[in-house]
Structures are given as C-alpha cells and as structure tokens.
Amino acid sequence: MAAVILLVAALVPGQLPGQPYSSYWFPTELLSWSPETDPDAPYNRGSVPLADRFVGDILVNPHARPGEAGVSAISIMYPSTSGNPSQGANVMDVYAFNYWQYVEVLTMWGGSAGEGLIVSPSADVIDAAHRNGVPVYGTIFFPPTQYGGQIQWVWDLVQREGPVFPVADKLIEVAEYYGFDGWFINQETAGGDSTLAVLVREFMIYIQESSDLEIQWYDAMIETGGIAWQNALNSLNDMFFQYGDDLVSEGMFLNFWWTTNGLLVSRSNAIALGRSPYDLFAGVDVQASGYNTSVNWDGVFPEAEEHVVSLGFYCPDWCYSSSSSHSDFYEKANRFWVGANRDPGNTWTTHPWKGLAHYIPATSPVNDLPFVTSFNTGQGRLYAIEGEIRATHEWNNRSLQDVLPTWRWICESAGTPLYPELWWDDAWYGGSCLRVSGDLQAGAASLLRLYKTDLHLEGGETLVLRYDSSQLPGQESCIAVALCFEDAPGVFELFDAGTVTGEGWNGFEQSLSSFAGRTVVQIGLRFASASTHSDYEALVGMIGIIAGSPDIPSAPTGLYVESFQQMDDNNGTIRLRWTHSPDAVRAYDVYRLDPDSSWSFLGSSPGEAYFVPLVQRAEPETETTILVQAVSPELGFSEPAAATITWTITGMEGDETGPALILSSPVPNPVGPTGASVRYSLPAAGPSRLDVYSIDGRLVDTLLSGQTGQGWHDLEWYPEGLCSGVYFLRLEGPGGSRVRKCLIAR
C-alpha cells in the first residue's frame, strides 16, 4: 500500500491522466461547446433527480417559522475555477456540505478573469443537493474592472441574433444536459450603459420563456448599466427582478450593506410587483468570520414577527476553509447552522449567532419508500460494503452522500444523554456511520430523534438496522429503533434490537405489516438499560424501511472502457461508461477482479460514467477485468457487468544501473506548455543520451545525444507535439542509466 499512497500523493487529482474536470467558459467559448464534442461532458452530468421535500407539522424550535424566509447559500465548493475533478478523488479533504435541510438553493460559486466566467456545478454537488431536495445553480460572474473585468464580456453574453440570444441557448443546453437548475448572475463590471442593461434584462426573460431554469440576480448593475449596489429592491434595479408581467429572476441577492428600513421598503416593493418578499435575499458575507460575523438578525427575522425577507449567505464554506481538521469542520458547521448548544430545538445563547435552526425549520426529503441511510457523508478514510471494509485509502465523492439526520442533534434523557456524532473509523456501506457514546445510566434512557419523515406504510414493509455494540457480546444491545406515527404524535413505538450475537456488525429486522395504513413521521433510536454501562458505545451503520427484502436490480448493460491510461507498468486510470440498469439504482460500485477471484473496490457513482483514479496491476497479469455492480436503493446487489483493460509492460522503471549517475525530475512537474528544466549529473565525461518515452514504451523525443562533460548539467525541455499523459525520461551515460517519470499537462 505504501507505493499506492506515494503515487497518489505525487499525482494530485487534477493531474491524473484522463481526469475529467468540471466545466467553465468565457461567453464566446461556450458558443462552441456541445456534449458531443466535450469528452468530459458525460462525467459532469448529475444523476440524482431533484427530490420533493416538506416541512410538515413537527417543528422542534418554537422560534422557527414555516412558510416564510429561506436561505440562499453561495458556496465555494472548490478552491479554484479550473482543475476541479468532476466526481471526487482519492483524498478525504473536500467541502462536503450537509446541512441541506436549512437551505432553499445552493449556488456553486466560481469564475475569474483569468480562468473563465461561467461555471457549472460539478456532478457530485448536483447529486448531493438533489438527493436532499435542494436546487443547484451555476455561476455567471463578471468581476469588477480592478479584478480584470472587461465590459466586452457582458456584451458577449447578451449578443443577439434577431429574437435569439445564442449564449442563453447554450446556458440552457448546459444546465439541461448536466442536470442542474439555474444560474446565479453577478454582473459587477463597470462601463455598461442603458442599452446593455436592457439587453441583460431581455436576455434573462428569454431564458425564462425558453426553459424551466431559474435565475438569481445579484444587486450590482442598475438600469443605467452602471454598477451601483442598492442594498435593496428599488426603482433602479427592480427591472432585473420583475418587469411588468414578465418574470426576470426568481430571486434577487441584495448586497451586504442593507438596513432594517431598506429591507422593509424592499419587502413592500416586492409585494407591489406581485412577488413574494421571500424572493429577496438579504446578503450576509460570512467568508472572513463565519458565525462571528455581525448580522442585524432582527432586521431580517424580527422575534415573534413575520420574517421580512429571506437570507443570502456568501461563503458559508468558511466552516471548511477556516477549519484545522476534519472534525473541526464538522463542529464549526454544526455551530453555524444549528447553534451553540448542538441542538436545533434549543438555540438559546447569549452569543448573537443562534444558528439558522433558530429561524428556519428543517425540511426533509424522506417522504417516499424505500428509505435507507448509512450515514455516509460522501467522504472517508475507508470504504465498506455491507460492513466489510473493501478499501483503506482516502476518498471523496459527494454524489454518494446519504440523506443525513434532519436534527443534529436532539438526544433527550432524564439523566445525561448519550453523545451522537458522525464517525469515519467504520461503516456499513460507504465511509462513515453514526456513533453514540457515553455513560448509559440505569433507568435513564436516551431518545435520539434523527429523521423527520412522511412515510406511508402500505403493508409488507420491513424495518432494518445494522449496528455494532461489540462491548456487550452475548448481552442486550440496549438499542431500539423508535418510530413515531402521525396518528399518535409524541409517542414512539419501540423495536428492540435484542441480543448482541457477536463482534462487529449485527443485524436486526422487523416486519411492519401490523402498522399498514399508518404514516411514520419520525425515526429515531432509543438507548436504555436496567444496569449502568460506563463508556457505552454503539455504532449504527444503517437504518431503513424497505418493501419486504432488498430488491435485486438488473446489471448495467453496455459497459465499456472509454480510455485506459497507464501511469507506469503497474498503475493506471480508467474512464468507464455503461447504460443504466432498467431498475432503480442507488449507485454503481466498481471493482477490479483479482487473480484469486476476489474483488478490489475502485470507486462508486450513481451515474452512467465513472473515472477510476487508480487501478493497479497484479503481477504477472497483462489483462485486468473490471466489474460494475448495480446497487438498489434497498442495498440489493446485481450481478456484475464486466470489461477488460490490457496493460503494456515496458520494464522502463526497473531499467536503472550504476549508483553515481543522477537524473532529477523535471521542474515543474507536471510539465506545461512553457516547458521545464531537467538537471542531471555524470560521474565522468563520455557519450550520453537523454530520451523521452511514452507510457507504451515508444521513443518520442531525444533531448541529449553526444559527448558530455563530467558533473552537473541543466537543459530546458519544451515538449512540443506531445499530448497530455505520463512519460519517462531515460538518461544513459558513463556510470549507468537512470529513469524518471513525469506528467505532461496541456
């Protein structure tokens, strides 16, 4: 495994050969885009449809007001506009946002004058949001002139051919093909005029009339075409919101310097235009200080009164960017969204930041059967399938994120409640599970309320639980699943998990046939014991309500290897494609078939295309079989589909002799269009060669050939005519030979 770790560290995700990237463009570049000509397009498609979600009657916080304000989150999901993997990578470190229950819409923020202005959300962000019922927007960002903005780019966006806006048509095509829901438009480049402003307005109306996409507009440009932040909705900017009978944008993100009176006037103006005041989002910039940002909360959410407008956060990803560790990120995110007490039902604090749970009731997408959660956050240090750890490397893929608990956390007890948390040291399916720990006191049960649901039981459903309470072998697990039904609010029916039968994961199943016709409105867990258990710990790997036994889906069809790129004789990357199973599928798990007929896990995706960031050859094989297995929403597993890759064995990396010859790796590595420096040293003068070989062992360039003096030498290498990929530099000279691997990245 050490060799694998070193390889992944040497070639970061954005530099792997064959790596698909999330899309970004300048307006004129977008005109030439099509999914047929973009090789990365299939890997950038979201696969999860937008779920329905609800608020329901269960409101845990008396301050939170349903049916009023929402939250728009503009988040930096990647550190730059370019070089972002489409489907995650073999590192755990990523902004895996997971408080979707408090968000109305999420914009994946990006764009820069040097990279591109139009940024589509990555496939994994689309999938995670949609599984939770949250629409996702791409970004169209025209920066201020001091940051490289050019007003011509705005004219390029709204160029018109008769009644048609060609760039608008491409924006619609991109969103519909990739499967996201709209665009956030931020026009902050100075130099426009009223003609341009009208074109921008007509451009947005055209999108509204030509598609089902949504638009959110940032309060910067005004009707004269100039940049003048209003911090309110007024006569200078309302034409970008509503123009007569024409809907121009579904939402307006008001600039950050709003006042209480300005919001009240904005509210009145929205109503006068026939619009909801909650289509206005009072902007709050939390990028620098997070929950230490000063906010006039009463101006937006006056206590015990109707909300004035909605709230818009710029960069709530502060929770991630400011964190010192993975656990620190999760603690900060809970503090940001839920509050200082780690309990959405108890948000009282003397700190001015009470958390969004104080104002906004949690929504839930858990309104349809089957429902299964493995508490998978979409990242991890391991990957487990049915409790068996199948991979021990880091990974992230937000497409695989489960619907996580609605309430984090409500744990009620007559004594000291147990402590619930997400846990990444074990899992049932994926990379994480739920851990509950503490002193379980005799006669003082802990009721952990997890999910708000709306699940109508038709008859024949089965309750399933997977748990690990290894400290109590042969004893009662002290765990019961707690279900609350609509016709008995506040009363929990308990389903005892029984005796711990052995170490590791235990299973529990219970028919719910006797509850047919009733609706489950809460799912939780109850921990109770007649005797005290100090330092009690239970891992919960899965909770679900399924129809009978797990459905077994049909296998995907048409599996093929779109490309296989070797990094050396023993390591490579793969682009895989297949046709969706005709059955409902939660994800497709990808494996390599080992020589001993076991399967090694390579990754997973809910879509029909997947990039494998690392596959390894098992010597002495020259062919490797790749398997793709469909997994149903109930965690049933299909027969695998199979395809084959063929390895080219060059022997190049083992072709080294002589201890005195030195060849350094090129700098920089990867080698870009501007070239690289190559340094080498000979122990004596004599004939020498420095050649470049492709991954399949072909000689593609010679950098040095002839008599060379003793000592250190430097040369500049400009890899003209060579495409992106892995190459070998091989030096021959007095004293032996040396080989160094490098990557060319165009």
DSSP symbols for 504-534: S-EEEEEE-GGGTT-EEEEEEEEE--SS-EE
Helix or strand holding residue 157 (H, E): helix 151-157
Q: Where are the alpha helices (DSSP H) in 224-376?
A: 260-272, 297-300, 318-321, 326-337
For residues 87 and 123, the answer to whether their CB atoms sit within 8 Å is yes
Query: Tell me: the pLDDT tens digits for 519-542?
Result: 999 999 999 999 999 999 999 999
User: What was the pLDDT predicted at 549?
Assistant: 87
d(CA 355, CA 63): 11
Name the E strands within 504-616.
506-511, 519-527, 533-547, 557-566, 571-579, 587-593, 599-605, 609-616
The CATH architecture to which 44-358 belongs is Alpha-Beta Barrel (3.20)
Range 128-140 average pLDDT: 98
Between residues 473 and 282, the one the model is more confident about: 282
Average pLDDT on 454-470 reads: 95
| Burial of 348 per CB tally in 10 Å (0-12, 13-18, 19+) | exposed
* Buried-state track 97-129, b at ≥16 Cβ within 10 A, e below 16: bbbbbbbbbbbbbbbbbeebbbbbbbbbbbbbb
Look at residue 15 and tell me whether its pLDDT is greater than 80.
no
Whether the pLDDT of residue 580 is over 60: the answer is: yes
Calculate what percentage of the chain has a pLDDT beyond 90: 85
Alpha helices in 183-290 (DSSP H): 194-210, 260-272
pTM for this predicted structure: 0.90
Calpha distance 118→157 (Å, rounded): 10
The more confident residue out of 568 and 343 is: 343
In tens, the pLDDT along 540-563 reads 999 999 998 899 999 999 999 999
Helix H segments across 425-499?
none
Q: With 90 as the cut, is the pLDDT of residue 696 above it?
A: no
**Residue in the structure block whose two tokens are 């049933």:** 636
- Residues contacting 191, CB < 8 A, separation 6+: 145, 151
Say whether 557-646 and 44-358 share the same fold: no
pLDDT for 13: 45
Boundaries of every domain in the chain: 44-358, 371-547, 557-646, 654-744
Q: What is the pLDDT of residue 655?
A: 65
What pLDDT score was predicted for residue 290? 98
CB 541 within 8 A of CB 468: yes
Query: How confident is the model over 430-451, as a mean pLDDT?
Result: 97
> For position 9, what pLDDT does the model report?
31
Q: What is the mean pLDDT of the chain?
A: 94
| From 19-33, 178-192, 433-447, 464-478, the region with the lowest mean pLDDT | 464-478
Mean pLDDT to the nearest integer, 85-92 = 93
Report the interhelical angle of 194-210 vs 166-178 (nearest 10°): 40
Output the pLDDT for position 695: 78
All residues at 6 or more sequence positions from 62 whose CB lies less than 8 Å from its CB, including other chains:
none
Q: How far is residue 276's CA from residue 259's CA, in Å, rounded to a whole number?
A: 19
- CB-based contacts of 720: which residues, under 8 Å, 6+ apart? none
Instruction: Please give the pLDDT value at position 274.
Output: 98
Q: Name the nearest CA neighbour of 138 among 25, 226, 36, 42.
A: 25
SS3 319: helix
443 C-beta neighbours (distance < 10 Å), count: 11
Evaluate the CA torsion angle 160, 161, 162, 164 in order and state its sign: negative
Q: Is there a contact between 743 and 11 (Cβ–Cβ < 8 Å)?
A: yes
pLDDT at 1 over 60: no
Q: What is the pLDDT confidence band of residue 656, given thresholds at 50, 70 and 90?
A: low
- Maximum separation of any 2 CA atoms in the chain, in Å: 91
- How confident is the model over 378-418, as pLDDT tens digits? 999 999 999 999 999 999 999 999 999 999 999 999 999 99
Burial 196-219 (b: 16+ CB within 10 A, else e): bbebbbbbbbbbbeebebbbbbbb
312 closest CA partner among 139, 118, 121, 107: 107
- CATH architecture observed for domain 654-744: Sandwich (2.60)
Which tens digit of pLDDT belongs to each residue from 319-363?
A: 999 999 999 999 999 999 999 999 999 999 999 999 999 999 999
Would you list the DSSP string of 106-138?
A: EEE---BTTTBSEEPPPHHHHHHHHHTT--EEE
Sequence-ordered strand ranges (E) for 340-491: 371-373, 379-380, 383-385, 388-391, 395-396, 410-413, 419-423, 433-440, 446-456, 461-468, 479-485
pLDDT on residue 737: 87
161-173 residue pLDDT tens:
999 999 999 999 9
Class of the 557-646 domain? mainly beta
Q: Do residues 340 and 349 make contact, with C-beta atoms less than 8 angstroms apart?
A: yes
How far is C-alpha 271 from the geometric centre of its chain's CA atoms?
Answer: 36
- Cα–Cα distance, 9 to 147 (Å, whole number): 33
Task: With beta carbons less than 8 A apart as the criterion, state whether 78 and 396 touch.
Answer: no
CA distances from 609 to 41, 563, 694 (A): 10, 12, 27
Q: Could you report the per-residue pLDDT of 194-208, keeping only the tens digit for each?
A: 999 999 999 999 999
Q: Which pLDDT score is estimated for 697?
A: 76
DSSP 8-state secondary structure symbol assigned to residue 21: B
254 pLDDT band, cuts 50/70/90, is very high
d(CA 132, CA 141): 26
CA separation, residue 237 to residues 154, 245, 299, 462, 649 (Å): 17, 16, 21, 55, 64
For residue 746, pLDDT over 80 is answered with: no
User: What is the DSSP-derived secondary structure letter of residue 476?
Assistant: B
Let me know: does 511 contact 462? Beta carbons within 8 Å.
Answer: yes
**Which region holds residue 290: left if phi is over 0, alpha if psi is between -120 and 50, else beta?**
left
Q: How confident is the model at residue 473 (pLDDT cuts 50, 70, 90)?
A: confident
The answer to whether domain 371-547 has CATH 2.60.120.260 is yes
Q: Which residue intervals of 179-226 are DSSP H helices?
A: 194-210
